[in-house]
Amino acid sequence: MLYGWPETDESKKMLLDQVRSFSRSVIAPKAAEADATGNFPTEIVQQLGEMGLMGMMVPEEWGGAGMDAVSYAMALEEIAAACASTAVIMSVNNSLVCYPIQAFGNDDQKKKFLTPLAQGKKLGCFALSEPGHGSDPAGLQCQAIKVEGGYKLKGSKNWITNGKEADYAIVFATTDKALGHKGICALIVDTKSTGYKVAKLEDKLGIVASSTAQLFFDDVFVPQECLLGKEGQGFKIALATLDGGRIGIASQALGIGRCAFDASKKFASEREQFGAPIAKLQAIQWFIADMATRLQAARLLTWNAAKCKDMGLKYTKEAAMAKLAASEASVWIATKAIQVHGGYGYTKEYVVERNYRDSKVTEIYEGTSEIQRIVIAAQEFAEL
Ligand code: CAA
């Protein structure tokens, strides 16, 4: 049994062993330094690519590992338990960049863009949010003006994970604002194009070693062959992509929460007060019991969403539930983990301090907790 999941698949157990061993021996020892310096983990990301973890669900013929979404969720949890920054870099490339090209791209686009992205030789970012359009991307302002042979991109994007290092960006822009969400298209943009600028890097509370950038497009020419899907299909491509992205962020949140949980158990077993380890105190035991329960409930929701995706079922609601539950569990667990550690937990000497800062963003990006509730409620009332 994998964490109480009745899946007996040997390949998943092997994957988990391999990723866990890499996470513990290579990623975890460097995570505190990456958090302190904010340096992008270039070498580790390259190794993830060599291990097939940057395009896990992409078929092998397009450079990927050809694995299922449950395996992806399991692997991502392991990476996040070591370093949340590395996990979001991996999650964005897999879920938000490889997926839409695989699902909506043509063979030429798969050959040119998807293959190097899935192999980890190139890195991608997903440029949907704008300064004035975060939770409500349907009204985005970035323009794709039709010109001979393609489009001219004009506008800006905000909160773009991997924005500094990306080789390719999936950019959502409108060809006709009057059409609302039906005027949005998705373009694969080479970040070395003339007029493409990384304008500002955010100075953040957590996930410090992953970049979060503001982008500017100053008349960036995008060839027609870089249009993903059809004109006007961009908004649906974005939302369908985010369904999968939310499974990734749920898994990241699980990893952060698990790290805080494991650290709390260890600390509670070693720290003595009133003549015994604090693990003997019922107050601490209740924290640990609640942490374990919330973690497992969120994990099963996450794996359920992934399983629905693997079975070709609709998983919009399941992914939103997974992200909502896992991110809120993660923040709760990291907060209580500091409480278990007392004053020590408030210092950078203990990993729970980083877990606390890293966990918060999981309730915000790829749709806030409030957006997830809107998505879940909309599905519950779909018949109305
Ligand atoms: N998949 C495909 N299509 C979908 C869909 C889905 N999951 N959900 C809705 N649609 C379709 C609808 O069927 C509808 O199509 P028709 O017009 O043909 O009927 C169309 O999209 C519009 O649907 P809605 O009217 O429901 O759309 P809305 O404008 O009311 O928005 C929303 C709904 C749930 C609030 C959505 O805007 C949303 O998810 N917002 C949050 C955005 C978000 O997550 N942003 C994060 C960006 S990425 C990031 O965080 C940065 C990073 O780098 C990590």
- pLDDT, tens only, 268-325: 999 999 999 999 999 999 999 999 999 999 999 999 999 999 999 999 999 999 999 9
- What letter would DSSP give residue 280? G
Q: Which two tokens stand for residue 354?
A: 């980083």
Ligand 1 in reach of 315 Cβ (< 6 A): no
What does the pLDDT look like over 110-135, one tens digit per residue? 999 999 999 999 999 999 999 999 99
- The verdict on the CB of residue 363 being under 6 Å from ligand 1 is no
The domain limits of the chain are 5-118, 124-235, 239-382
- pLDDT above 80: residue 47: yes
Ligand 1 mean position, distance from CA 302 (Å):
20
pLDDT in tens, 221-250: 999 999 999 999 999 999 999 999 999 999
Distance 135 CA to ligand 1 centre (A): 9
235: CA distance to ligand 1 center in Å?
7
Task: Tell how far the Cα of 242 is from the centroid of ligand 1, in angstroms.
Answer: 8
Residue 79 has pLDDT above 80, yes or no: yes
Task: Give the burial string for 215-231 (b: 16+ CB within 10 Å, else e).
Answer: bbbeebbbeeebbbbeb
Q: Could you give the residue ranges of the DSSP H alpha helices within the chain?
A: 10-22, 28-37, 42-50, 69-82, 84-91, 99-104, 107-109, 115-118, 234-270, 282-310, 316-341, 351-360, 369-380
| Distance (Å) from CA 238 to ligand 1 centroid | 7
Point out the ligand 1 atom lying closest to the alpha carbon of residue 134. Answer: 45
Which one-letter amino acid corresponds to residue 223? P
Same fold, 5-118 and 124-235: no
What is the mean predicted confidence (pLDDT) over 347-366?
98
Active site amino acids: 366
Residue in the block written with tokens 């018949």: 383
Which bin fits 233, alpha (ψ -120 to 50), beta or left (φ > 0)? alpha
Assess whether the C-beta atom of 375 lies below 6 angstroms from ligand 1: yes
Does any ligand 1 atom lie closer than 6 A to the CB of residue 364?
no
Ligand 1 within 6 A of CB of 243: yes
Relative to the CA of 249, which ligand 1 atom is closest?
54
Ligand 1 atom nearest to CA at 127: 53
- The partner residues of 222 in beta bridges, in order of sequence, read 151
Mutate to test the pocket of ligand 1, among 236, 308, 368 (most ligand atoms within 8 A of CB): 236
Q: What was the pLDDT predicted at 3?
A: 67
pTM, whole model, 2 decimals? 0.97
Closest atom of ligand 1 to CA, residue 160? 53
Residue 135 beta carbon below 6 angstroms from any ligand 1 atom:
yes
Superfamily of domain 239-382: Butyryl-CoA Dehydrogenase, subunit A, domain 3 (1.20.140.10)
Averaged over 91-119, what is the pLDDT? 98
pLDDT tier at 6, thresholds 50, 70, 90: low
Cβ–ligand 1 contact at 374 (below 6 Å): yes
Write the pLDDT tens digit of every residue in 164-201: 999 999 999 999 999 999 999 999 999 999 999 999 99
Instruction: Please give the Cα distance from 110 to 112 (Å, whole number).
Output: 6
- Rounded to the nearest angstrom, the distance between the alpha carbon of 300 and the centre of ligand 1 is 24
CATH 3.50.50.60 is held by the domain 5-118: no
What confidence score (pLDDT) does residue 68 get?
96
Residue 144's beta-bridge partner residues? 153
State in Å: Cα 370 to ligand 1 middle: 13
Cβ(211) – ligand 1 distance below 6 Å? no
Of 154, 113, 146, 163, the residue nearest 223 (C-alpha): 146
Confidence of residue 51 (pLDDT cuts 50, 70, 90): very high
CATH for the 124-235 domain, from 3.30.70.1880, 3.40.50.300, 2.160.20.10, 2.40.110.10: 2.40.110.10
Ligand 1 proximity of 319 Cβ (cutoff 6 Å): no
Sequence-ordered list of residues with C-beta below 8 angstroms from that of 276, at least 6 positions apart, any chain? none
